Amino acid sequence: MVQTDIHVNTTKQTLQGVAFPLDGEAFAAIQQFKDKKLNYVQLSINFEKELIVLSNTDATEVKDLPKRIPKDAARYHFFRFKHSHEGDYLESAVFIYSMPGYSCGIRERMLYSSCKNPLLEMVENKLQMEVEKKMEIDTWR
């Protein structure tokens, strides 16, 4: 029998992609987002270290989102969307994968695409954070 230790800092290949680990700051920011202490977390990939790292946690409103989406680099974003539905006040966790098309190199496009599902799996299953909406965008319109 083969035994594998899985940790937040473990890189592994999955059927869905490559699971780069989160660095400590990124993990802490997602935990704070889950606990509603932050309403926005932006993550990027450090290619040399093969880590998902924290890029931004500035308080963000819907109108500010276009300013947070880089035009020349891919990013992962967690945003708390505050809204009403049928009279109920809701705060929904939204995941946005932004990829500005061909202004990124092929390696960047492939790694971001490959790491997306393992990242969401870790957030939803290991951190027990429900992500109500997942979207992929190439530009903010």
Positive or negative, the CA dihedral 23, 24, 26, 27 is positive
CB atoms within 10 A of CB 102: 9
At 36, the pLDDT band (50, 70, 90 cuts) reads very high
The DSSP secondary structure of 21-75, one letter per residue, reads PBPHHHHHHHHHHHTTS-SEEEEEEETTTTEEEEEE-----GGGHHHHS-SSS-E
How high is the mean pLDDT of the chain? 88
Q: Which domains occur in the chain, in start order?
A: 12-137 (3.40.20.10)
C-alpha to C-alpha distance for 8 and 132, rounded to whole angstroms: 23
> Average pLDDT, stretch 71-80?
95
Whether residue 4 has pLDDT greater than 50: no
Share of the chain above pLDDT 70, in %: 86
What is the structure's pLDDT at 9? 54
Q: In the structure, how many helices (H) and strands (E) does the chain have?
A: 3, 7
End-to-end CA distance of the chain: 52
DSSP 3-state assignment of 8?
A: coil
